[in-house]
Structure 1
Amino acid sequence: MARPYRSVLYIPTANTRAMEKARQLAADAIIFDMEDAVVPGEKAAAREHLTEALANDYGPRALIVRINALATEWGEDDARLCAGELASRIDAVLIPKVEGAADLDRAAALLPDTKLWAMVETPLGMLNAAEIAAHPRLEGMVMGTNDLAKDLNSRFRPDRLPMQAGLGLCLLAAKAHGKIILDGVYNAIKDEDGLRAECEQGRDMGFDGKTLIHPAQLAVTNEVFAPTEAEIELARRQIEAFEAISATGKGVAVVDGKIVENLHVDTARKTLDHAEAIAAMAG
């Protein structure tokens, strides 16, 4: 049963109160952000705050640390902390601005026993998505849509047409290599309708979940990236119908006027597994 990653919330490591509150939030995973959310003068203090916070229990949530880029003056110290004192307390380290396998090779050398995730947020990174996704140490990919929009000099559109090519490349790469892939953030904190529409788009495309910048975005995101009751009920009926027809020596069932073959049953089983994993998180 795979862990769900419907909602993945960024928390600034400079904000001790936010890290404490995150222990009670309904997020499937937390990204403790040491990069964009921490100003240069607070980088060292943020490491101390993170160490103190991770002495506490965060329950079943996946705990991921986004370190500073290794090319910066803070990146290697962040990596050493995650490889040392924090290694047993976190699930993965998120490497920013990954543009190729070499970036992950360098991170892997500093983090020999830690799962790696990659921020893919530049045009070059997206063009090299297949190379990144194929890296043997990589577990997941996170879309950096704000940085991508900046590099593209694109305008905001609700349909995200300007970045569809990049998102699609990363999705194909992640799915081809069996990696988790998370959609980028939605910036308008109070726009619930806009958030829901973008979550629906991301779910329809095939993303496993979405990264978030505010706890107010959790409920909608968790709802959209979870199977609906109708999807769960259909999955059960598809499995039952296929098993029944298979017992007669046939390989194709019909449910609601649509054929059900092996591939549909595989999807149905994944739907039920996902629902069970979500229920386990809640329980």
Structure 2
Amino acid sequence: MKLRSLLFVPADSERKFAKASGIGADALILDLEDSVAPPRKALAREMVKSLLSGPARNWAFLVRINPLGSGLTLADLAAVIRPGLDGILIPKINGMQDIELISNYVDALEIAAGVRPGHVKLLVVATETPAAMVGFAGYANPSRRLVAMTWGAEDLGAALGALSNKEPNGDWTFPYQVARAQCLFAAGAAGVQALDTVYVDFSDREGLAESCRIARRDGFVGRVAIHPDQIATINECFTPSEADLAHARRVVAAFAAQPNAGTLGIDGKMYDMPHLIAAKRALASVGEDVAS
């Protein structure tokens, strides 16, 4: 599942869904949680069911359910797990045990709905509770459905009683830098995609681009968006340039020509296995098939 850009869309707004479905996002996240008021949640479920039966699309259809403990999780899952759904985003998880519980629910609901077993994938917001922040070791034993992890600071800050999660210059304060890094490490341990959190100032395209550049440098492969205007910037930032791809092809070709070499010199610089892995990952991100 390609996940450079994922856009939140309130699940109770057909108008916003119609606009979002044509803007080039890799995935739309129909939101049943924070953006839907409690009196409209049942309506939002019915709207998602209707939208899932729509025409074929070139983006992944995801749904953010209400968290475990809300009393709404099973109703959300029963409503939306049906043909057309590609994945579930689980908020406020406490660790791998929550992922396995949701996965077990999905096992049964896929069969009941006639969905191919294993088709519905799971994504998680991995840092929204204090319990989650001390439970990252569990990701060393990956889930069969888990494909991506992102992080968030607002709910975590509320749970901790923080007055702010940002420094005066806009940087994350230290606890939230830790949350970001832990998400990145846990995604690596689980072998899934790491997605950066939302950039809330949707009018600041330059700031978003710089933040995405830093995220990609650090190892994130995509980002969640809260406004359609952010998608083009996110896609551009998380897509390798032609120069990047040309260099990656040279690295892969050099090691293919000398399969017994662990280290090679290319243009006066030394390259080894981590460089080869990074080059293959860059090519795979644009669909180029490279030998293992």
Normalization by structure 1: what TM-score? 0.88
1:95 aligns with 2:90: yes
Taking the aligned partners of 2:158 and 2:207, their CA distance within structure 1 comes to: 20
Aligned Cα root-mean-square deviation (Å)? 2.0
Segment of structure 1 superposing worse, 53-62 or 93-102: 53-62
Between the aligned partners of 1:212 and 1:12, the Cα distance in structure 2 is 13
Residue number among 147, 162, 175 corresponding to 1:139 in the alignment: 147
1:165 pairs, out of 153, 178, 201, with 178
Aligned equivalent of 1:128:
135
Q: Note if contact 1:130-1:170 (Cα within 8 Å) is conserved in structure 2.
A: no
**Residue aligning to 1:201:** 214
Q: Report what 1:116 is aligned to.
A: 122
**CA distance in 1 between partners of 2:137 and 2:84 (Å):** 30
Give the alignment of 1:132-281 within 5 angstroms: 132=139, 134-136=141-143, 137-152=145-160, 153=162, 154-157=164-167, 158-162=170-174, 163-244=176-257, 246=258, 250-276=261-287
**C-alpha distance in structure 1 between counterparts of 2:256 and 2:286, whole Å:** 21
Residues 1:135 and 1:252: Cα distance change in structure 2 (over 3 Å)? closer
**Residue type at the aligned position of 1:89:** G
Structure 1 residues 205 and 149: CA distance shift in structure 2, 3 A: farther
2:48·2:80 contact (CA, 8 Å) conserved in 1? no
Matched with 1:66 is 64
Q: 2:5·2:234 contact (CA, 8 Å) conserved in 1?
A: yes
Partners of 1:257 and 1:102 lie apart in 2 by: 49
Unaligned runs of 5+ in 1: 278-283
Distance in 2, matches of 1:6 and 1:58, equals 20
- Look up the equivalent residue of 1:131 and give its one-letter code: G
Identity across the alignment (%): 36
Aligned counterpart in structure 2 of residue 15 of structure 1, from 9, 13, 16: 13
Measure how far apart 1:132 and its partner are: 4.5
Number of residue pairs matched by the alignment: 270
Aligned to 1:47: 45
8 Å CA contact retained: 1:29, 1:64:
yes
Q: CA deviation at 1:198?
A: 1.5
Q: Deviations over 1:174-213 (max 9, x none)?
A: 1112012211101111011211122112111211211000
